Amino acid sequence: MNPIRINRTCLSQMVWQRLFEHSAALAGHRATLLEFTQECDTLPTRVSTGSINAESVWALYSIAAYFKPQTIGEVGTYVGRSTVALSEGQRDGNVSNGIIYTCDAQNSCDLSQLTAFATGDTELEQFPTLTSTHMFRTLVERNVKLDLLHLDGRLVEPDFPLVKGLLTDDTIITLDDFEFDQKGHDNARELLKVLGKIYYQVIYPAPGTTTAMLLPRKLLHFTEQ
């Protein structure tokens, strides 16, 4: 008998379809979300790098609104577009006492002045001009456990054992720039070496985005309806 083979591409399409079906009910907030992320572009920066596009903003928002992570870590704040997307997803997912830790080794934008954080419920702790290693070490020392880790920066060797200490069996990892020879692809490869491929399913980016996921297999359920 020939088995039914569902490859990563097919599975990824199904996962994103489910996430976007859920966020479609929240689509009335999309215009406000994009206004919030456009406000990020007014912040002064020390270096010029690219911000994520509107599709990636919606993808991150959809992930946070669906999975409802309370504690989020982020590498690569830049001007805060992804940070805002995640915090608004927490809000519309009715997450209580949400917190986001975010670092950027090159930038020091103060996101607290943005409307999304000035009026929202998410607690924000920034590590401006500090490396991922510094933030991870600080969080490990505090015994913080992350529900979601968003990576938009290239990790270095000392980061990987620290990351392992921050995760639970349910932690979702999102990776920007998931393209061949780009940092997201490299981060995923190295993380899977440390964390074990058997525990995670790679979810490729949705069309129009470069955001992939390492999704714990335990969060994938087959149901009768």
Q: What is the mean pLDDT of each run of 10 residues along the chain (225 residues)?
A: 91 97 92 92 79 93 98 96 96 95 93 89 95 98 98 96 96 93 92 91 96 96 84
Do 214 and 196 form a contact (C-beta atoms < 8 A)?
Answer: no
Structural domain contains residue 86 = yes
> Residue 105 has what pLDDT?
93
Structural domain contains residue 62 = yes
How far is the C-alpha of 86 from the C-alpha of 223, rounded, in Å? 28
Which run of H or E residues covers position 14?
Answer: helix 8-24
Structural domain contains residue 1 = no
Q: What are phi and psi of 160, to 5 degrees?
A: -65, -45
The tally of domains found in the chain comes to 1
* CATH code (residue 105): 3.40.50.150
Structural domain contains residue 101 = yes
Structural domain contains residue 109 = yes
Neighbours of 217 (CB within 10 A): 11
Structural domain contains residue 213 = yes
Give the global pTM.
Answer: 0.95
Structural domain contains residue 225 = no
> Residue 25 has what pLDDT?
92
Q: Which domain holds residue 61?
A: 8-219
Structural domain contains residue 224 = no
